[in-house]
Copies of this chain bind each other. A is one copy, B any other.
Amino acid sequence: MTILDGKKISNDIKNEIAARVDKMKERGEKVPHLAAVIVGEDGASLTYVGSKVRACERVGYKSTMIQLPHTTSEVELIQQIRALNKDNDIDGFIVQLPLPPQIDEEKILLEVDPSKDVDGFHPMNFGKMALDMSTFIPATPFGILELLERYKVETQGKHTVVIGRSHIVGRPMSILMSRKGWPGNSTVTLTHSSTKNIADITRQADIIISALGVPDFLKADMVKDDVVIIDVGITRVKDESQPRGYVIKGDVDFENVSKKASFITPVPGGVGPMTIAMLLKNTLLAREQRNN
């Protein structure tokens, strides 16, 4: 059994990016500049955005954090996004979700210039991905592909079962794993809340990608021997014995499933750290595609 060590790989990627940024600086080129917009004071969102800003600093990117009050109107946020679209110094930017209820997320998404949409959430980029064109791949799916690639996990002709049909993980993973090429080219089953007898399906899987958000959902009797497990679930479970008062749990009963798996991601330290690394990678791609 091999642990798919997202912490290590994401560090490798950040080091690779930092080396490239150093070269950009040596050549006097503009370094990538990522902006993050956050509306409101949600604790988890502030933590995520904070990590993204720190990651930028670590690899030598310029970063800008724009924090707007939770009372921000849709029109005001749209004005902010249009300003970022126009700002030639910004290579890419993200709008941290969720947004407060007075703002329509779909409308906001559509305002982002696709060439700066390093989250890959704009329908233009999502459609290009689904149609096998080159584009920004959303960071979490991109991170999963990168893990499979760096550990040389065979995917061609395998049966991949994806659990959950979210726009940011399940749906794009189901598309990416069935595309021609590697990683990909596998037979893909997408399961979700309306799926019946899910264990009958997961037991057939060579690769399981779970993005459900239900702690310990996937048990050892639901998988076959030598399965590859990608656990995208991140749930905070109350635990008073911990200094923070909670532990982070994945969708997979790691202790028991790992005994049957050929490859498995831990939680934390698996897919999670990859997400930020791939956001940095998308920002680098955005910079390279701009010609200012």
Contacts and interface: CB of A to CB of B under 8 A. Distances in A.
Copy total for this chain: 2
A126 interface: yes
A194 B189 contact: no
B127 A194 contact: no
A97 to B, nearest CB: 13
Interface string A165-190: 10100010011001100000111111
A192 B187 CA distance: 7
Contact of A157 (B175, B185, B196, B201): B196
B187 A157 contact: no
A167 B131 contact: yes
Interface stretch (A35-43, A73-81, A117-125, A143-151): A117-125
A191 interface: yes
A222 to B, nearest CB: 15
User: Interface size class for chain A?
Assistant: 20 to 34
Given A127-B124, A130-B171, A189 B187 contact: yes
Contact of A130 (B127, B185, B192): B127
A179 B194 CA distance: 10
A54 interface: no
A106 interface: yes
Contact of A195 (B129, B157, B165, B179): B157
A133 interface: yes
Nearest to A132: B167
A35 to B, nearest CB: 23
A8 interface: no
Nearest to A188: B190
Nearest to A200: B204
A163 to B, nearest CB: 11
A187 B195 contact: yes
Q: Which 9 A-B pairs have the closest CB atoms?
A: A127-B127, A123-B127, A126-B127, A189-B189, A187-B195, A123-B128, A185-B194, A124-B124, A157-B194
Given A123-B125, A130-B171, 14 more contacts: A123-B123, A124-B127, A126-B131, A127-B127, A131-B167, A132-B167, A156-B194, A171-B178, A174-B190, A175-B175, A187-B190, A187-B196, A187-B201, A189-B189
21 contacts: A122-B127, A123-B123, A123-B130, A124-B127, A126-B127, A127-B127, A127-B129, A130-B171, A130-B175, A131-B167, A132-B167, A171-B175, A171-B178, A174-B174, A174-B190, A175-B175, A186-B194, A187-B191, A187-B192, A187-B195, A188-B190
Interface of A: 106, 122-133, 156-157, 165, 167, 171, 174-175, 178-179, 185-192, 194-196, 201
